[in-house]
Structure 1
């Protein structure tokens, strides 16, 4: 599968979406609070987002998916 990163970071309410390249389906969405958390952790590299190198983009997509999954699991972990 191939993905596209659709990032609008210089808006009043920034967001980043990961889209399936062939279908345009939205696979993940990171909104302002998640983007702030990524920035605070040092895990949001704007240069990587605009890179034309496939390896750099692939790594960025992988890290963003992992971050989304980790965030989704937090409430379940906090309940135990």
Structure 2
């Protein structure tokens, strides 16, 4: 059983990951190192793909943490 405090921490950590990483993705897409030449008109570089994998992984883990936190918070609620 996870305490309410721990469940809230997981919820905050999950929300943080789901909000922050997509913003970082935009910064990567706008970075000149992500493309061979012009943005969106050339092949993505290894820089782009490495960050795409990292961002996708972080968001998926963040969603999992958020889900665990929400379920733990609901299960620790007093039963009526």
Pairwise TM-score range, normalised by the shorter structure: 0.3 to 0.5
Larger proportion of strand: 1
Larger proportion of helix: 2
Q: TM-score, normalised by structure 1?
A: 0.36
Q: TM-score, normalised by structure 2?
A: 0.36
